[in-house]
């Protein structure tokens, strides 16, 4: 095993704490702390804040590159780099050659808050007046380079001492494994860095990236490394349909990264989401001598994700799980948020846990093999996300509905809407990880939708189809409460129809649906709760909907 690298390099946006954490690391190691902005000031007699307006950004970046080239020759040191330095491939190559690169990451709003709270800090000429807006832009622009780092270090709300310990541990143990990857320097030196996460989930106990795009399954090794899971064994769980189409890509990807492990294939279908199947997986993990530090990979739709997530939550009191969703529904909904469960004879999802994944890796190429009906039903959740929180996404869906439902969609558009929609789910989950408040709005269309699934024995309607019909009931409830007009009801109906999603469930019994709703988990203190809309992107939960309004809405959807 090679020695731990001679330098630790901190990259990230302004406000991430590079100086503070860099000094702590230097103190603990007894190494010098070098801040490239300070070295530039020493060399030029002027600070970056003076140089950039005087000489222009380009000239400043050349000075910075020369300083970095000198700095990396100095031997042992903790180095903090200017926020933009890591954008240049030559800087990345130079810093990575001798250093263990750590990306300090927090949301732009958190960074803006920190910078505003520190008016004494250095001038930041690149940031201008609209601090948060500019940080958002820089985040999008620079994140792809930052994410090349050997270690991704979330610093949102984390004490700098804790962060310093985490970095030192990784540098001393995990770092050398990553550093021995023969493609490492090549990766840093590439002009076009790999794609950044589409979203991050950040709850009190967990923070994890969601990567979405074409070819993601080929990057599993890189992704595991980016979330600090390098050097572990992986236990892949999948179903027999998915493994047939995508097993080989995953196996090759793991092999190429030298990741050892084993796999277990379950029969496709909801019946595998059982305690019996969970017990089979426990026995397999035990036989394979899986350890707590190992990782479960869940490759498949919501069934595999829920089952493997549940097993990961419980085996050895909790192992890491990485979700590799392969259905539209799983990419946009099931894989994000940490709800894991198995079914009992008495009902669906009755035994489960909240167990956030360590990462979600959504390869949109996998959707190409999905049967058309499954592909379309997943869009019900995307449409739901647009209706409850994202008016811009709703417009995109309206413009491209026929393309998406044509059977030959524009795959880039599919990735784009998946990114936007997954981001909404991530945002809601991050704000309310245990479903105690805001997260309830994700149930738009679900009160009636679940009842439809239940009265039809989970056989006639796929989940998304039932939710689609349920959303029609919910929008009529919203209308009858005077929150939206008839035009809004038609707009939602037209969109669902354009996707080929059902808007009615003809022939069902109204009383049976009403009874099923009474038994739903969403009933609190005997009061049925409905998510209603007050307009596009504005959802709220109401527990006071008069029964006659509910009855009318349910009657409207069972008429064919």
Ligand X SMILES: NC(=O)c1ccc[n+]([C@@H]2O[C@H](COP(=O)([O-])OP(=O)(O)OC[C@H]3O[C@@H](n4cnc5c(N)ncnc54)[C@H](O)[C@@H]3O)[C@@H](O)[C@H]2O)c1
Q: Of the candidates 242, 320, 427, 429, which one interacts with ligand X according to CB under 6 A?
A: 242
Give the C-alpha separation, 43 to 37, whole Å: 10
Determine the interface stretch with ligand X among 229-237, 332-340, 384-392, 402-410 (rule: CB under 6 A): 332-340
> Among 377, 385, 443, 529, which one carries the catalytic annotation?
443
> Among 195, 450, 476, 479, which one carries the catalytic annotation?
450
Give the C-alpha separation, 244 to 304, whole Å: 14
Q: Of the candidates 71, 327, 364, 447, which one interacts with ligand X according to CB under 6 A?
A: 327
Q: Of the candidates 241, 362, 364, 418, which one interacts with ligand X according to CB under 6 A?
A: 241
**CA-closest candidate to residue 44, choices 54, 34, 29:** 54
> Among 381, 384, 400, 479, which one carries the catalytic annotation?
381
Residue 329 touches ligand X, criterion: CB under 6 A: yes
Give the C-alpha separation, 275 to 281, whole Å: 10
Smallest separation, CB 469 to ligand X (Å)? 16
Binding mask 32-71 toward ligand X (x if CB under 6 A, else -) reads ----------------------------------------
Count of residues near ligand X by CB under 6 A: 30
Q: Tell me if residue 435 is catalytic.
A: yes
Residue 245 touches ligand X, criterion: CB under 6 A: yes
Q: Interaction with ligand X in 383-442: which residues (CB under 6 A)?
A: none
Q: Tell me if residue 332 is catalytic.
A: no
Smallest separation, CB 404 to ligand X (Å)? 16
Q: Tell me if residue 381 is catalytic.
A: yes
Q: Tell me if residue 439 is catalytic.
A: yes
Residues 6+ apart with CB under 8 A from 303: 239, 268, 269, 270, 272, 273
Cβ-based nearer residue to ligand X, 126 or 206? 206
49-54 long-range CB contacts below 8 Å, 24 or more apart?
49/122, 49/123, 49/124, 49/125, 52/125, 52/126, 53/125
Smallest separation, CB 302 to ligand X (Å)? 2
3-state helix, strand, coil in the chain (%, to 5): 55, 15, 30
- How distant is the alpha carbon of residue 295 from its chain centre? 17
Residues 6+ apart with CB under 8 A from 83: 12, 13, 14, 126, 138, 142
Smallest separation, CB 331 to ligand X (Å)? 9
Give the C-alpha separation, 337 to 441, whole Å: 14
Cβ-based nearer residue to ligand X, 7 or 366? 366
Q: Tell me if residue 293 is catalytic.
A: no
496 token code pair: 């669902």
Q: Tell me if residue 450 is catalytic.
A: yes
Residues 6+ apart with CB under 8 A from 304: 237, 238, 239, 242, 266, 272, 298
285-288 long-range CB contacts below 8 Å, 24 or more apart?
285/235, 285/311, 285/315, 288/235, 288/262
Q: Interaction with ligand X in 481-510: which residues (CB under 6 A)?
A: none
Binding mask 438-477 toward ligand X (x if CB under 6 A, else -) reads -------------------------x--------------
Give the C-alpha separation, 465 to 78, whole Å: 55
> Among 92, 184, 219, 425, which one carries the catalytic annotation?
425
Torsion angle defined by CA atoms of residues 462, 464, 468 and 469, in that order, rounded to the nearest 10 degrees: 30
463 token code pair: 């989940």
For 348, list phi and psi in degrees, rounded to 5.
-75, 145
Residue 150 touches ligand X, criterion: CB under 6 A: no
Binding mask 259-288 toward ligand X (x if CB under 6 A, else -) reads ---------xxx--x---------------
Alpha carbons within 13 angstroms on the beta-carbon side of residue 237 total: 31
Cβ-based nearer residue to ligand X, 91 or 356? 356
Q: What are residue 541's DSSP bridge partners?
A: 531
Q: Tell me if residue 91 is catalytic.
A: no
Q: How far apart are the first and last CA of the chain?
A: 69
Q: Interaction with ligand X in 285-304: which residues (CB under 6 A)?
A: 300-304
Cβ-based nearer residue to ligand X, 61 or 439? 439
> Among 18, 273, 439, 479, which one carries the catalytic annotation?
439
**CA-closest candidate to residue 352, choices 311, 322, 303:** 311
> Among 18, 195, 273, 339, which one carries the catalytic annotation?
339
Residues 6+ apart with CB under 8 A from 281: 237, 264, 266, 307, 308, 311, 315
Q: Tell me if residue 395 is catalytic.
A: no
Cβ-based nearer residue to ligand X, 367 or 550? 367
Determine the interface stretch with ligand X among 29-37, 240-248, 468-476, 524-532 (rule: CB under 6 A): 240-248
Q: Of the candidates 61, 143, 195, 339, which one interacts with ligand X according to CB under 6 A?
A: 339
Residue 306 touches ligand X, criterion: CB under 6 A: yes
The residue number whose beta carbon is nearest to ligand X equals 302
Binding mask 345-374 toward ligand X (x if CB under 6 A, else -) reads ---xx----------------xx-xx---x
Cβ-based nearer residue to ligand X, 76 or 245? 245
- Contact by Cβ (8 Å): 12, 87: no
Smallest separation, CB 375 to ligand X (Å)? 9
Q: Annotated active-site positions, please?
A: 317, 339, 381, 425, 435, 439, 443, 446, 450, 463
The binding site for ligand X (CB under 6 A) comprises 239, 241-242, 245, 268-270, 273, 300-304, 306, 326-327, 329-330, 333-334, 337, 339, 348-349, 366-367, 369-370, 374, 463
């Amino acid at each position: 095993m090679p020695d731990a690298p001679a330098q630790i390099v901190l990259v990230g946006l302004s406000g991430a704490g590079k100086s503070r954490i860099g000094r702590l690391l230097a103190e603990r190691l007894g190494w010098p702390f070098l801040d490239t902005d300070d070295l530039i000031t020493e060399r030029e007699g002027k600070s970056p804040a003076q140089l950039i307006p005087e000489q222009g950004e380009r000239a400043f970046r050349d000075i910075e590159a020369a300083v970095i080239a000198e700095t990396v020759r100095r031997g042992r040191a903790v180095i903090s780099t200017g926020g933009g330095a890591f954008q240049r491939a030559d800087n990345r190559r130079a810093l990575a050659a001798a250093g263990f690169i750590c990306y300090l990451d927090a949301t732009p709003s958190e960074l803006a808050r920190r910078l505003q709270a520190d008016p004494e800090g250095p001038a930041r000429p690149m940031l201008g007046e609209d601090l948060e807006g500019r940080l958002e832009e820089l985040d999008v622009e620079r994140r792809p380079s930052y994410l090349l780092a050997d270690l991704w270090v979330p610093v949102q709300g984390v004490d700098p001492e804790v962060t310093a310990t985490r970095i030192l541990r990784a540098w001393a143990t995990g770092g050398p494994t990553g550093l021995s990857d023969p493609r490492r320097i090549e990766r840093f030196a590439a002009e076009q860095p790999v794609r950044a996460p589409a979203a991050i989930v950040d709850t009190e106990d967990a923070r994890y990236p969601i990567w979405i795009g074409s070819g993601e399954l080929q990057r599993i090794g890189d992704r595991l490394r980016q979330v600090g899971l390098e050097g572990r064994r992986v236990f892949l769980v999948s179903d027999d349909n998915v493994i047939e189409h995508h097993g080989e890509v995953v196996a090759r990807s793991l092999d190429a990264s030298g990741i050892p492990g084993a796999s277990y294939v379950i029969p496709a279908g909801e019946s595998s989401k059982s305690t019996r199947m969970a017990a089979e997986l426990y026995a397999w993990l035990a036989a394979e001598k899986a350890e707590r530090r190992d990782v479960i990979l869940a490759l498949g739709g919501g069934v595999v994700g829920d089952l493997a997530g549940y097993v990961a939550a419980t085996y050895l009191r909790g192992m890491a799980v990485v979700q590799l969703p392969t259905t539209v529904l799983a990419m946009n909904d099931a894989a994000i948020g940490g709800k894991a469960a198995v079914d009992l004879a008495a009902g669906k999802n009755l035994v489960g846990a909240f167990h956030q994944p360590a990462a979600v890796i959504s390869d949109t190429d996998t959707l190409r093999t999905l049967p058309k009906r499954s592909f379309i039903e997943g869009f019900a959740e995307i449409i739901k996300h647009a209706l409850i929180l994202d008016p811009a996404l709703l417009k995109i869906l309206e413009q491209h509905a026929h393309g998406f439902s044509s059977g030959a969609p524009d795959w880039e558009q599919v990735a784009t809407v998946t990114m936007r929609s997954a981001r909404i789910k991530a945002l809601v989950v991050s704000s309310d990880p245990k479903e105690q408040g805001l997260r309830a709005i994700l149930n738009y269309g679900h009160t009636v939708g679940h009842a439809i699934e239940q009265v039809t024995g989970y056989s006639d309607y796929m989940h998304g189809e039932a939710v689609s019909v349920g959303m029609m009931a919910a929008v009529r409830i919203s209308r009858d409460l005077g929150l939206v007009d008839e035009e809004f009801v038609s707009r939602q109906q037209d969109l669902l129809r354009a996707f080929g999603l059902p808007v009615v469930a003809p022939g069902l019994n109204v009383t049976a649906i009403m009874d099923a709703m009474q038994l739903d988990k969403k009933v609190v203190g005997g009061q049925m709760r409905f998510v209603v809309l007050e307009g596009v992107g504005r959802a709220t939960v109401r527990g006071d909907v008069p029964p006659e309004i509910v009855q009318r809405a349910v009657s409207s959807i069972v008429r064919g």
